[in-house]
Structures are given as C-alpha cells and as structure tokens.
Chain A
C-alpha cells in the first residue's frame, strides 16, 4: 500500500529552527517533494530530493534517506509568513509521475 506520515501540527517561535518529518512506505519511489500551502491558496514548490542527502535552498533545506523511507524539511530563521501547511509528496514510478501526498503539517509560527 501507499502511506505517507507527517505530524498534523507544529508550533515554533519566530527566529527559531523547525524540522518537519515525513516517513513513507510506497510501492515505488521516484523522488520526494515538499510544498508549502498557505490557507486558501495552491501549493508552491519548495524542494525535490531523489538521492540521499541534504538539499539546501536559502532558509529551507530538505533531507532524504531512501533506505529509511524518511525525509525532513528544515526551516531556519523562522518568519511569521512561514505559518502554513507543509506537504510531503512521493512521486511514484511510471510515466505519469503521479504524486502521493501526505496529510500535511500545519506550522504555526508565534512571535
């Protein structure tokens, strides 16, 4: 079966660092994506990992371990505008590249 797990909610303080974990069990794997979604808006692309290791992009970094079926999104120097839902998605094998989404983690950044 296909299963992607993320914490439902997280709270962090402005200026701090937060790590959002994602574990997955899927029948095939062809990359893992992280998206940010503000309330009432569509998701925006944050990062893509297909090989093991850390990908850094400004204040955001994403890590992947394929053997452990595990990824995390690291947000540094948190800002109030980072309050949003963060979606972990695994791309399945096959020509279409269909994404399987987790339920998302709602992050609340407090002053």
Chain B
C-alpha cells in the first residue's frame, strides 16, 4: 500500500508551547489529508480535513485557532498545536487520501504528544 510518514513520532513539551507535526505522502499526491486524535482505548476522532491550497474544515468542537492546519503542497500537511496544555496530550494521526486508482485513505504512523 501507499506510504504516509509523520514527524516527529513522539514529542514531549512544556505547557504553553507550540508543537508542529508534519504529515507527508511519500509515493502519491494527496489533495486531501485528515487529522485524527485518539485517546487510550478509544476510537479515532476526526479533528479536521486538510485541503491542499485552501482552508481546513474542522469538525464540531475542534478549535481552529488552537489546532492550526496548513496544506501547502500535494504531499505535505502540518498540524500545529498552539499553547499546548496537558489535556492536549494524545496520539495524533494523519491520513492521506490516494484518490488515484485505489481511492483509499492511508494512515501515517502517528505522533504521541505529551504535554507536561
């Protein structure tokens, strides 16, 4: 299957700082990428849909000013958690839609964020 990478794989930061997570589709172009958050023993929660060259679409209850999304190219989307707090500690996972022949969504390996 297609490959999606995420960086960093884990990060520990102090409360009040900002953290940027990158999501890259390595062998296909993705006009649409998605950002999810997952708490322990829970299912994936979609945070936002990232569209190349336009503004992201956020799910209800997700603060767009806190979770900044940029999709500057067909292979890269970034999520910045601004002014992070301990309750933002979670597993953040991106996915990219390969709308070519497979039209399948592939997930990155995830980023574990711990805010102290």
Where the two chains meet, the residues of A that have a C-beta atom closer than 8 Å to any C-beta of B are 31, 33, 35, 40-45, 48, 87, 91, 95-99, 101-104
User: Size range of the interface on B?
Assistant: 20 to 34
Chain B interface mostly helix, strand, loop or mixed?
strand
In the bound assembly, the distance between CA atoms of A31 and B1 in angstroms comes to 18
Inside 8 A of A102's CB, which chain B residues have their CB? 43
A45 x B106 contact (CB < 8 A): yes
How many A-B pairs with Cβ below 8 Å?
53
In the bound assembly, the distance between CA atoms of A35 and B34 in angstroms comes to 16
B34 x A99 contact (CB < 8 A): yes
> B93 contacts the other chain (Cβ, under 8 Å)?
yes
> B78 contacts the other chain (Cβ, under 8 Å)?
no
In the bound assembly, the distance between CA atoms of A90 and B105 in angstroms comes to 11
> B8 contacts the other chain (Cβ, under 8 Å)?
no
Inside 8 A of A104's CB, which chain B residues have their CB? 43
Taken residue by residue from 13 to 27, chain B's Cβ proximity to chain A (1 for < 8 Å, 0 otherwise) reads as 000000000000000
> B65 contacts the other chain (Cβ, under 8 Å)?
no
B105 x A97 contact (CB < 8 A): yes
A99 x B105 contact (CB < 8 A): yes
In the bound assembly, the distance between CA atoms of A41 and B46 in angstroms comes to 17
In the bound assembly, the distance between CA atoms of A43 and B106 in angstroms comes to 8
Residue in B42, B49, B106, B107 whose CB lies within 8 Å of A96: B49
In the bound assembly, the distance between CA atoms of A66 and B105 in angstroms comes to 20
A-B contact pairs, 20 of them (CB 8 A): A31-B103, A33-B105, A40-B91, A41-B110, A42-B107, A42-B109, A43-B93, A43-B107, A44-B1, A44-B107, A45-B107, A48-B104, A91-B105, A96-B49, A96-B57, A96-B97, A97-B99, A97-B103, A99-B46, A101-B46
Question: What is the minimal beta-carbon distance from A25 to any residue of chain B, in angstroms?
Answer: 17
B44 x A43 contact (CB < 8 A): yes
Residue in B44, B97, B102 whose CB lies within 8 Å of A87: B44
